Structure formats: C-alpha cells, structure tokens
Structure 1
Amino acid sequence: MTGLDTVAHAAEDPQRQQPWADLGLKADEYASIREILGRRPTSAELAMYSVMWSEHCSYKSTKVHLKQFSEIPQETPAGAMLAGIGENAGVIDIGQGYAVTFKVESHNHPSFVEPYQGAATGVGGIVRDILAMGARPVAVMDPLRFGPLDADDTHRVLPGIVAGVGGYGNCLGLPNIGGEAVFDATYLGNPLVNALCVGVLRHEDLHLAKASGAGNQVILYGARTGGDGIGGVSVLASETFEDGGPAKRPAVQVGDPFMEKLLIECTLELFAAGVVAGIQDLGGAGLSCATSELASAGDGGMHVDLDKVPLRDSTLAPEEILMSESQERMMAVVEPDDVARFLAICAKWEVDATVVGEVTDTGRLHIDWHGERVVDVPPRSVAHDGPTYHRPYARPEAQDALQADGAESLPRPSTGAELRETLLRLAGSPNLCDKSWITDQYDRYVQGNTVLSQPSDSGMVRIDAETGLGVSVSTDCNGRFAALDPYAGAQLALAESYRNVATGGAVPLAISDCLNFGSPEDPGVMWQFAEACRGLKDACLELGIPVTGGNVSLYNQTGSTAILPTPVVAVLGVVDDVTKRTPTGFQAEGERVFLLGETREELSGSEWAHVVHGHLGGLPPAVSLAAERSLAELLHEGVGLLTSAHDLSEGGLAQALAESCLRRSVGARVEVPGDAFVALFSESAARVLVTVAPDDADALVGLAERHGVPIAALGETGGSALSVSGDSGAEFEVDLGDLRETWTRTLPDALG
C-alpha cells in the first residue's frame, strides 16, 4: 500500500485493486465492507477492518457459541458482578468495598515466532486490560503448554517463554503466584502461552471503555508507536503455522516493562485525580481497536488527527500506524477542563501524552492525516458488527473409536516393586515433576502480599492488611480429558480449578476462560469448541458462578495437526482472612491422613496411561459438580481444623502423597483401600488429600458426614519415607531423598 489513499479518492476510484486477501479478509467480508461504506474502503479503513474483523479480535467463528454464557446469572456467591463480558476484564464484588478484576488471555502464536517478546508482551497486555478497569494489578499467573520435553523446538521456545514471562512480570514488580507447565506432542510447533492478571480496586474506582461527551478530548499516552507488531497478534492468531519453523518476526510486539511500570503508576494517579472519563488500553489491533471501541461504546462519534500520534518511526504510513500493536500505550477520554491536569500528571511520570482528537456527536469515526480524511466509518461496524460465522461442526467419525479404546485393558503393575517403580516414573515425568526450574525465575513474593504460590494448589494474595481479606486464584485444564470428551473435559478443567481454590479455604466466586483450539475451519474442532462451551455453561449454572470474560485462541495447529483442545479455566475465590487458610503439604509428624471423595477405576486419559503406555483413549473421569460443591463447602468450613489439603488430579493419590511428603520433608505411612493400583493412580475427580491433628480425626469424620462427602482414613504422617500398603498385599516404601531426586532432576537434566 503506497501513496495517500483518502476517502475522496476511494469514492472517485471504486475499482482500485486492494490487497484484502493478503490482510486476512475473505471475499465476502471485503464485499460487506464495501456495502457498509457504500464505496471501496481506503487503505487505512481496509487496515482497520482487517485487524478488527480478525478471528482474534472479532470472535467471528465463536461468538454464536460464547453467547450462551449470558444465560448464566450475573452474580457471584459473594455479591454483584460489577462488570462482565464485553469489558476489558470482569469485575466482581468481594466485600468490604473492594472489587477484584481478573482475566486470562493468550499470546500463543507470537510466542512461537519470538518466544521472549511474545511471552513478555502477553503479560504486558493482560496487565493493561486490568489497569484499564481502574484497578491496581497485584499478581499474574502463566498457564503454559509445550511440545515434548526432549524436542529441539521445545528447547528453543521454553527457555525464552519462561524468561519473557518472568522478565516482564519481575520488572513490573508483580508476583507470579501460579500457573501450569504441561508437555504434549500436539503442542510441538504451537506452544500455548496464556497469561492471567488479578487487580484490586474500590467499587467507586471502576472505569469503563467508552467515549462519551461531545467535545471531550482524546489523549494517547505511554510509549511511542513503532513498526513492531504491525498486524501483530490479530494477524498471527488468525492462521495456522506450517511445518517450517518460525517466521513473521516483525509482527511480534517488543515490550518495555519499565515503561509499563511508569504507565501503571501514572494511570492510577490519573484515576485518583478524577481526570479520566473513559479509557482503553492499546492491545490487539492497536489504535484501530482503541478508537473504534471507545467510540462505539460511547456516543458513537470521534475525530482523530493521526499525524499527531507520537512515532518511533517517522516513515510509518497511516495504515501501519493504525495496525501497529506497539506496547505500553493507553487512550483516555478527558473533559476539556481536565486536560492540563492530565498532561501534568503524565509529565510528572515522564510518560508522553498527546491530544490526538475529540469526541463528536456525528456517529462516525473520522481519522485525518495531515488534513486529509483517510477514515470515515461507523465505528460499531468496525468494533462490534463484524461477520458472524455459523461454522459447520460435527462429532468426528473417529470419536466413537477413541472413546471405546479405554485404558482398562492396558498392562498394569501389581507387586509392590512394580507400584513403587510406577510412582517414581510418574513423579519424574515432565507433567508431574518439580517445576522449580521454571517458577524460580519468577518473583513470587514482591509487594509482600503473597500468601500462597507455586507449588501450592492455588495462588493467594492479601487485599487488605487490616482485615486480612484476600483472593485465591487457580488455572487448570487437562487437554487429554477434553480430547476424549470436550463437554466433560471443560467441566473437569473448571472442577479442578474450583477445587484448587477451595483447598486453601477460599469460596469460589467466578471464572475467566482461555479457550485454545485448532482451526475453526475443521468441523471436528468446532464440535470440540461448541461442546466445551456448552460444558462450561452447564457447569457454571450448576455451581452458581458466572463467567466474567475470557479469550478464544483458534488456529492452534501446525499443518493438519491440531493441539489437544485446551479450555483453560481460571477460578477466583475470596478469603475473609488469609491468616486462616489451609496450606498444601504435610506439616508435621503424627497427624492423621484422610482421603475425601470417592475413588473409581478411572484411568483413561490419565498420566499413567500417557507416560507408561503412550495411550489416549476411553472416557475421562465422571464429573459430579454436586460432589465438587459439597467438597468445597467442607474445605471452607474445615479451615482451622485441617492442617493441610492437596487436591487429587494428574497422577492421582500417588502423586498427591508424593508432593505432600516432599513439601516439608515429612513422610507418611498409609494403607490404601481396595485395588492398590487403582487407589494410587486413578484420576477420579472431586477428591482431596487432607490431614488433621489426632484429636481432630473424629471431628473431620463428622464434618464429612454432614456434607455427604465420602471419607477414608489412610494412615499418619511421619518418618523419612513414603510407605504404602494395600489390601491386596502389595507393599512398598520410597525414601524421600530418592523421591525428591527423581522429582526434581527432570527439568534441570533436560534444560540445563
């Protein structure tokens, strides 16, 4: 695109050839744009529509399924939801005049192309989403997915991604309190980098993204606009990768966390001064998004002089400026009398700020370049009224055969020696091993409010120092379960995250999701997506918690190989007093060990089947949301009685015992009921391993009976080994030193 293409030229030159296909638009989408405008678009308008109508920004393939989340009541167990789907992030009331905002988003494709910057700017983007709601960011999390640990490309992307997450978050002074690192062959060539941020605000500090009040000024502030990230995530996330390795590096944004730190403090002071009437961060689609969304959510009109935008590269054309996804930028709407004070605060923080336009009552978004009009569009057509696809979806023909191929017939260990070897093999496997190689690169305790973090079941931060009010957050998803049954798999992701929050004693309040799937042009993938959405909706209705917002990431596949469907679910819960919580891991010798919940022979999709047999087939564990809810209520009521709690998930009881012993080097002697192998390695849901002081054992049994939660006494803590016996006579013992060596050496051996 060369030369200045104005609105006047577009009207005079209707047949001009335009590179709409190169920008990711379909022929019918280009025709729709021409119909909306009554002419061909200018180059700048074409750039705006192309990024805003991309899969990443418009959800054009998925919004027909996402709309069912609006059927869920928009209140939480603690009170009102102050802002929900459609805003930069959801905001929920947690009591005492406080509100919390949280959201999880993806930065998958940029992180494959340029691992460090892709991951770093993923963190930066989600932090600005939280900031734009009027909140101070207080913590981040990072659910990650990689290809096999021994694959060359995993060794290329993993260190850079982890360094990017840690480098950006550490520089911002935000504790990283949780996340996941999962390895599977389907993520080879398409790692998943999901980033979550939590922010805190008082109710009266809530801000929304809208441009209202004709004559109000539009101010762009933060970093200057450059050529990095042109098209960025909005383009990269709308296509699959081919088998050939990274490309398109210029499309990846470059982050500056020190600029973002200044931007955070500057923005919070602007809020406190009362000089912000509306605000929007510049993330995906950059200025195209900020201008069109602010205008369409407000009075519908805005005028912008694009040549006033501060640039790092003076050679950028108007369409490039509109498409740039350069980081650390915000756009605010400010009343004229407040402009001088706004600019003074920005100057205090050494943050560039420029008046680039004003709110109008025209109902149009007008953008000029050196006095020439290059954009004249109805803003809603760009931001909200993009195409809606009813993609065909169908249950894959191979799904029945996949579900029929269960793990029940796989050879399984039976002797004590075989069970011991299996426990050690799983404990040292990539998905279950110690993740300290990753998490030690993150500052978990900066700000001094972190209460729980890795490797606890959930992250917990204190909100109010006087009362101890806090929040707990967890992210989870087992992609193998979702592949076997996407409806149940999504519910199991929610259930595990819900349970993890509950183990610390928090009351689960709401969810955010990051739905990572393959190509929407594949009917089988769209069936997976539709089933996952239906599963989440039904689960939220039964549990009584809302979806506050989230993200969809599609085209996650390399060639014809799609990733495992990965609907990551984040659950946030409230804790009245963080000093009254239940820790993860055995605390002391001589305590009684109990298993809460029912164990069934559920091994399909398990870590045992995956690691030992390379097998995926059968049906995932049964979902009982009623059981999860009863268990969560017991765990909340049990704070102060329980001395520890650890959920059972991947690796089953064996892994929970191993991790609980290793947390503080406290061994245990347990006797498992029934078939020892099933008892140890089944991955039945709605189960938690707990301990109590000996004198409190009867009280725990009574508490479980009142809540209708099955309970089994397993043994007691103590010693320097994990000793296991079973009804079948299978017995074994693992020295904690040997167990720790196996558990901790996997990532250092592989990654150095």
Structure 2
Amino acid sequence: MDAIESLPTVETARKLGLLPDEYDRINQILGRQPNFTELSIFSVMWSEHCSYKNSIVWLKTLPRDSDRMLAKAGEENAGLVDIGDGLACSFKIESHNHPSALEPYQGAATGVGGINRDIFTMGARPIAQLNSLRFGDLKLAKTKRLLRGVVKGIGDYGNAFGIPTVGGELFFDESYNTNPLVNAFSAGIVEVGNVAKATSYGVGNPVFIVGSATGKDGIHGATFASEDITAASTDKLPAVQVGDPFMEKLLLEATLEIIATGYVVGIQDMGAAGIICSTSEMSAKGEHGMIIDLDLVPTRQPNMAPFEILLSESQERMLVVIEKGKEHIIQAIFDKWDLNCAQIGEVTDTQRLHFYRHGELVADVPAYDLVLGGGAPQYHREYREPAYIQEFAKFDPSDVDDVETDEIAKVARHLLAHPNICSRRWVYEQYDSMVGTANRSTNAPSDAAVVRVKGTNKSIVITVDCNSRYVNANPRQGAMIAVAEACRNIVCSGGEPLAVTNNLNFGNPYVPEVYWQFVEAVQGMGEACRRFSTPVTGGNVSFYNQSSDDGPVFPTPTIGMLGLMEDPTQRMTLDFKNEGDWIYLVGPSTDDIASSEYLYSYKGVKASPAPYFEFETEWRVQEGIKTMIRNGWIQSAHDVSDGGLFVTLAESAMAGNKGFAIDTNDRYRTDAFLFGESQSRVVVSVSPEKLHYVEAYLDEGYNVFTRLGIVTNGDFVIDENVVMTTAQAKDLYDNALGNIMA
C-alpha cells in the first residue's frame, strides 16, 4: 500500500473502480497527478452510487415539477411536498442491496438508519417507514438466512429508533438468489418555514461533524455498491457499515433542536462516501469551499489514514455548517444529548476542498468537479433489446389448458400459500407498527398505509409497489404498471396521489441488454407519472445487482408513492363488512393470464408478456373509485393484483372474517377470470341500501363492471361450489411463510 500511495497509477485507479479515461480526466482537472487520497476521493464521488454517471441522462427525462413540489428532485437530502396548512412531507426511498447480501442484519439496519437521517436532516420528524424486499428461492438455506437477517435488522433498528414500520412488499424469485434487494422508505413532516437545506456558504462559517465517531466501517462502501457481487465480495465486509439506533434517536432530537435555532446554514447526512461526499456536495451547491482539519474528526480507531477518515461511511453522523459566532449554542445542544460535536473546519470562497492531516495538506480538490450535476462524468451507454423479449411476446394462452371446475380449489390453495402472496405476518410481527400512535392501518387494513399527521385531520397515504416479473417481461409497460398500481392502492385507501420517489434496481449498466431494461423502465415510469400527475421527487439508482452465477436480477424499479387524505371520513379499507353486501368488480375482465403467479408458478410457464394494461381504462377506474368513496357508496375497496381476482376476494373476506359467493363469467377463460392479473381492476362491496347509486353511476358507462355475487358469513363459494372455508383459507394464508421459516 505504501508503494501505491507514493505513486498512484492508472492501474491504481482501475483497482479503485475508475476507468482509464476518467483517470486522465482527473489529471486534467487537477493539472497534475493525484495522490492516493485524492484518487480515492474521485473514485467514490465518481462511482455510480454517488455520481449516477450511467443513469443521470435518463433520470433527467422524468417529470419533476408540480404546484406542491418544494424541493427540486435530487438537490436536497429527500423530496419535499406541500400537504397544506403550512406543512410539508419529506419522503424518500433508497437501497442497501450489496451490504445486505454480505451481512444482512447490519446491511438492512443501516439502510433504515440512513433513510431516516435523510428525512430529519430536512428538519422533518419521521413518522412512518416502509420497505420493499426481494429474495431468491425460499427453499434455499441461504435465502432463509438472508431473510431472517434483513427482517431482524429492519425490526431491531426501526423499533429501537421509534418509528413505525407501516407496510411494504416481499417477493421471491431465483433471479435474486445472490443479490437480494433491500429498499427502505421513510416519510416525515416539517413546517414549511423550518426546512433545512443541504448547502454551505458564508466565508468563515464553522463546519461541524456531529453524532458518532468515525471508524473504518463502510470505507469504499459507495465503490462496493458500484460493482457486481462475486465470490470475492466477502473480502469486502469492512465496506458494510454498523448501525446504532439509540445513537440515531439522540441524533434525531439534537438535529431537530439545532435546526429550530435558525442558526443552521446547511446540514447533510453522511451516507455514501462519508465526509468527502457531504463536504463536496454542500460546497458545490453553495458555490463555496472548505478547509477541513482531519485531526479534529473524532475517530474510533487510532492512526486512521486520511483516505480512511474521508471515505468512512460510519453511521449516525452529520455535517453541519452554522452561522459564525453561534458555535457555543450548537455545542451546548449536542452536549445535552451527549453526542460528539466537533468543529473540523470553516467555509472558504475558494470553491475547493482543502484537507489537512498532521499539519500537512493531504488533498486539494475542486468541489464542483466531484459531484452529480457538476463535473462528474455522464455517459450515454449502449443498449439493445434482449432476445428473450420477443420470445416472451410469442406466448399464446390457448397453449395452456384452462382449469377445470374441480381444479379451482387446488389452484386456490397453491396461491394462498405461495410466498409471493401469503400473509407477511411472520415479517410484520417483528416490526412495531404502532409506536407513535399515528398508524391508522394496523387494525383496519387497506391497500396503502394511512398515517395520521398529528394536530390536523390529514393523513399521509403511502405505498411501495413493483411487480418485477412484469418489468422483466416488458420493462416499459411493467414500470407503467408499477406507477399505476401505486396510484390505485392510494385511491382505494381514500387518498389522492401526489408524488413519487423511486428506487431503480438493475444489473450491470455496461451490459447493453441490462441498460435497455433500464432505459425502457425509466421511459415507462416517466410516461405514467406524467399521466397521473405524480412528479418524481428523487430516489436512488442501484446498478450492479448481478453475479456470474445468476446473472442480473429482474429489473426492479420500485415506486414509493405519497398520497394525501384531507378528511379521515374518506378512509376506505379492504375488508368485507356485512353479510348480504353485494360484490362488484370495477374494471375490465379479459382472457389474460400473462405473467401471473398462476401461470408462472402453478403452470410453470415463465415466458410470457406483461399483463394487460391501458392508461385510459386505469384512469377511469381510479376516478370511479374516488367518486364512490367520496359519496359514501361503497363499504370496501381492494385492487386486483398478485394472484388475481380470487386472491383479492379471499383477502377481503379473511380480513372481515366473512365468506363470499360469486359466479364466474363464461365469456372468459375460468383461469383468466379468477387468477389472471390484467390491470385496472378493483373489487368493491356495496350495501343493499346503496346499490342503486352504484348501479346508476356505473351504468352511465363510466366504468366497465361486473356484479360478482354477495358477501356471506360462510365459505368461499364459486359457481355454487365450495372452494374452501374461511378458516381453512386463513390457516393457509396466515401461516404459510412462518411454516417455511420454521
């Protein structure tokens, strides 16, 4: 290492993840050869994880503006949306995939910690968390180990931190055998006038590092997240951070208190790339520079090298710039909370970062050239459609035998017990969903989580959605469906969709077929967000989710969506309420079984296109559901998604401890009618007293609809045949995942 430090070469740069032409560009920027510390700085700041160099040209095409947007996408720690009455919601989703693949407990825990810090550095108090998780074949011991570690990491950190986990999604497929996906979402509330910015300005203003001491965990974590998982990845365990939720709780309270003083110029979480990321991004945004003395940084290990201090991703740390002369006030607040608060430098007008160690200048770099939107490289990568897309398009449902009447019960049992559909009780029982007493969904389930904004009648309505099998089959249409389903879930819960944060999980961007999936998905997402007036507030791109053994994961553009419910009386749940209520399917029936769980896992047909989806139909269905909820005409609403109509009916029945009796439609295949996953469909229940309102409204031609049958107190009955009892269904559905994990 001494030899490398004394004379960095292009080979050194390559080992740090830089391309030869990037190394040449660094030489041009500096006007000289960089030393090892400087080369390390560029390697993390120009990694995909920090610079978005292979994705930013397409991310810029996403819609980013609305009347409610209070922060430009990607320019602050998290998105910020006006929810009225002087309040705003800050929300964001980010991945911690690679760390979770190596060390699932700490990888997931620190993902939760990091996303919550992004929220409270905006001045917002977090009030709810979601997570989107994907794992490999659940028959594998490795998958079970990863699932146990990730769920425990999320639960232990979130529960100790004191923020409820109010929902999420869980999906299994062999494509995730090596690379699990762990995407964490958080939302918080802030008064519009008290928002903190991630910036730095004012010559002479002091720069503080606050929170935990800096250690050697997480060094080159951003670089590690910007490469494929290989057999050698276990050698990079030091790149995985270690979290402390109790320290984070103290940091939350201290951070909100210093922001409330009005003396904070700028503040940023130290996530990926640690001190160098925060100093460079804040300086570049404020068009200033900094002088930093690394000797003043509180450290956990002695004799840390300059690059180790700069690149460490130790958790529970912030960089804060405050008004000069107010140092004692900030220091007193952090002393009260028993947290480190050390002045490590000051703001300059040089627009450069000067780092000193033991009195010597160890790095001199221009802030602007390090950051996204500044001098960091931006690439247009080659892309081409994978051959399998056309093969999937050749699927003909007539080649698949329809189910016979006596087979319906068998398919029903298969789906209710399938890990992609069954209850997530084994997971959510490890989470505290009621801490803070704001969650309105724990005992009254709905398609999206409804969380009260205390001091008002408002609730935020939040969800995370993506069926990655659909995206793999057709990335553009699959991404559209992810946005549409998120909107549908919020609408079915009584909310109004407002805005999106996204977590784009893909394989290696240098593989043209993988990059084509990314480009198509971003374009589909953009089109859908424009149609539903849900601009993108920011998010995260996670490339390199692939391995030599398993190839790339299914392309997974997870949509985190924020909605708003102004009046709690508009809240809608998914459970059937009363025996004798009528059950309607709002939306079109089709002969579509493509990419359904039924076709994929029961029939074993893995090559088929994405399911039916059409924008105008989706829009009309959602507007119809909104109208019926607003007018108080329906008792329940539940969107038809994974598992099709039967699973939707079963979930509504089980949640209300009811049964149902319906008839199939002989105009369609039985399997498509019951188990197909064509989009833009919602099951609603209607009391007999409101029936004429609903019939008259739907008869106007506003929506295609089908009267299916009635809610009962007994069994699941289809075409007068008892498929199973409610008790049998609940036993299968509630215990399947726990039984597998046991």
- TM-score w.r.t. length of structure 1: 0.95
The one-letter amino acid paired with 1:531 is E
Q: Which residue of 2 aligns with 1:319?
A: 307
Shift in CA distance, 14/169, structure 1 to aligned 2, threshold 3 Å: closer
Match of 2:18 in 1: 25
2:420 corresponding residue in structure 1: 431
Give the secondary-structure state (helix, strand or coil) at the position aligned to 1:365: strand
Aligned: 1:657 with 2:657:
no
In structure 2, distance between residues paired with 1:22 and 1:397 = 33
* Cα shift at 1:213: 0.9
Specify the code of the residue in structure 1 equivalent to 2:201. S
User: Which residue in 1 is equivalent to 2:448?
Assistant: 458
1:263 paired to 2:251 = yes
Alpha-carbon distance in structure 2 between the residues aligned to 1:642 and 1:568: 30
Matched, 1:230 2:203: no
1:36 aligns with 2:29: yes
Quote the Cα distance in structure 2 between the aligned partners of 1:474 and 1:702: 32
What residue number does 1:616 align with?
A: 606
Look up the match of 2:639.
647
Distance in 1, Cα, partners of 2:485 & 2:19: 40
Contact 1:112 1:191 in 2 (8 A): yes
SS in 2 for 1:745: helix
Tell me the SS of whatever aligns to 1:672: coil
Match of 1:9 in 2: none
1:151 corresponds to 2:145? no
Query: How many Å apart are 1:151 and its aligned residue?
Result: 1.0
**Range moving further from structure 2, 406-415 or 15-24:** 15-24
**In 1, distance between residues paired with 2:9 and 2:429?**
56
Distance (Å, rounded) in 2 between the aligned partners of 1:690 and 1:549: 34
Provide the rounded CA distance (Å) in 1 between the counterparts of 2:3 and 2:305: 9
> 1:83-113: per-residue Cα shift (whole Å, max 9, x none)?
4333221101111111101111100010010
Structure 1 position 604, deviation (Å)? 1.1
Shift of 1:364: 1.1
- Identify the residue that residue 522 of structure 1 maps to in structure 2: 511
Aligned to 2:160: 171
Q: Could you tell me how far 1:247 is from its partner in structure 2?
A: 4.1
1:217 — aligned with what? 206
Q: Distance in 1 between matches of 2:138 and 2:211?
A: 39
2:261 is the counterpart of 1:273: yes
Q: 1:492: which partner in 2?
A: 481
Give 1:8's aligned residue: none
Q: CA offset at residue 484 of structure 1?
A: 1.1
Could you tell me which amino acid in structure 2 is paired with residue 175 of structure 1?
P
The size of the alignment, in residue pairs, is: 734
Q: Which residue of 2 aligns with 1:367?
A: 355
CA deviation string 1:459-485 (max 9, x = no partner): 1111133x3111101111111111111
Distance 1:657 1:479 in 2: 23
Deviations 1:579-622 (A, max 9, x none): 43001221222211111111112211110011112222232123
Task: Specify whether residues 360 and 706 from structure 1 end up closer, same or farther in structure 2 by C-alpha distance, changes over 3 A only.
Answer: farther
CA contact (8 A) 1:451 1:578 kept: no
Does residue 571 (structure 1) correspond to residue 564 (structure 2)? The answer is: no
Is 1:710 the counterpart of 2:704? The answer is yes
Amino acid at match of 2:29: I
Report if the CA contact (8 A) 1:307-1:369 is conserved: yes
SS of 1:75's equivalent in the other structure is: coil
Aligned match of 1:701: 695
Equivalent residue for 1:403, pick from 385, 393, 400: 393
2:290 is matched with 302
Q: Quick one: which amino acid aligns to residue 471 of structure 2?
A: A
Deviations along 1:356-380, whole A, 9 cap, x unmatched? 1111111211111121111111101
1:124 to 113, 130, 149: 113
Question: What is the DSSP-based 3-state SS (H/G/I as helix, E as strand, rest coil) of the residue aligned with 1:432?
Answer: coil
Q: Distance in 2 between matches of 1:584 and 1:164?
A: 30
State whether residues 147 and 186 of structure 1, in contact with CA within 8 Å, keep that contact through their aligned partners in structure 2. yes
Change (3 A) 1:435 1:2: same
CA 1:306/1:692 → structure 2, altered by over 3 Å: closer, same or farther?
Answer: same
Q: CA deviation at 1:672?
A: 2.6
TM-score w.r.t. length of structure 2:
0.96
Q: 1:15 & 1:738 partners in 2: Cα distance?
A: 67
* Secondary structure at the counterpart of residue 714 of structure 1: strand
Measured in 1, the distance between the counterparts of 2:486 and 2:612 equals 16
Match of 1:441 among 426, 430, 433: 430
Per-residue deviation, 1:146: 0.4
Question: Does 2:176 correspond to 1:184?
Answer: no
Is residue 724 of structure 1 aligned with residue 718 of structure 2?
A: yes
Which residue of structure 2 lines up, in the alignment, with residue 10 of structure 1? Answer: none
Distance 1:243 1:226 in 2: 26
50, 56, 63: which one aligns with 2:43: 50
Task: Determine whether 1:392 maps to 2:382.
Answer: yes
1:413 aligned residue: 403
Letter in 1 for 2:564: V
CA contact (8 A) 1:407 1:615 kept: no
Local SS of the residue matching 1:40: coil
Cα distance between partner residues in 2 of 1:610 and 1:556: 23
- Which 5+ residue runs of structure 1 have no aligned equivalent? 6-12
- Equivalent position SS for 1:398: helix
Change (3 A) 1:709 1:230: same
C-alpha spacing 1:408/1:169, structure 2 compared with 1 (3 Å): farther
The residue identity in structure 2 corresponding to 1:25 is L
Q: Equivalent residue of 2:131, what SS?
A: strand
Once structures 1 and 2 are overlaid, which stretch shifts more, 405-414 or 532-541? Answer: 405-414
> Aligned residue for 1:628?
618
When residues 219 and 548 of structure 1 are mapped into structure 2, their CA distance, relative to the original with a 3 A threshold, is same
> Secondary structure of the residue that 1:103 maps to in structure 2?
strand
Contact 1:107-1:122 at 8 Å conserved across structures: yes
Letter in structure 2 aligned against 1:223: S
1:586-597 aligned within 5 A: 586-597=576-587
Post-superposition CA distance 1:164-201 (Å, at most 9, x none): 01111111111111111100000001100000000111
Counterpart-to-counterpart distance in 2, 1:355 and 1:94: 36
Taking the aligned partners of 2:621 and 2:454, their CA distance within structure 1 comes to 27
CA distances 1:718-743 after superposition (whole Å, capped 9, x unpaired):
22211111xxxx83431111111211
Equivalent residue runs for 1:351-366 within 5 Å:
351-366=339-354
Q: 1:480 to 1:38 in 2, by over 3 A?
A: same
Q: Is the 8 A contact 1:641 1:700 kept in 2?
A: yes
Mapping of 1:243-262 within 5 angstroms? 246-262=234-250
Whether the 8 Å CA contact 2:64–2:536 is kept in 1: the answer is no
Does 1:678 find its partner at 2:672?
yes
Aligned match of 1:68: 61
Return closer, same or farther for 1:51/1:15 CA change in 2, 3 Å cut-off. Answer: closer
CA distance in 2, matches of 1:499, 1:304: 49
* Equivalent AA in structure 2 for residue 655 of structure 1: V
Rounded Cα–Cα distance in structure 1 between residues aligned with 2:540 and 2:741? 31
Q: How many angstroms apart in 1 are the aligned matches of 2:256 and 2:696?
A: 49
CA deviation vs aligned residue, 1:201-222 (integer Å, no higher than 9, x gap):
1110111111011111111100
1:16, 1:617 → 2: CA distance? Answer: 47
Distance 1:592 1:17 in 2: 71
Unpaired runs of 5+ residues, structure 2, are none
Equivalent of 2:522 in 530, 533, 541? 533
Deviation at 1:705, TM superposition (A): 4.6
SS of match in other structure, 1:337: coil
1:21 alignment partner, SS class: helix
User: Percent identity between the aligned chains?
Assistant: 41
RMSD of the alignment, in Å? 1.8
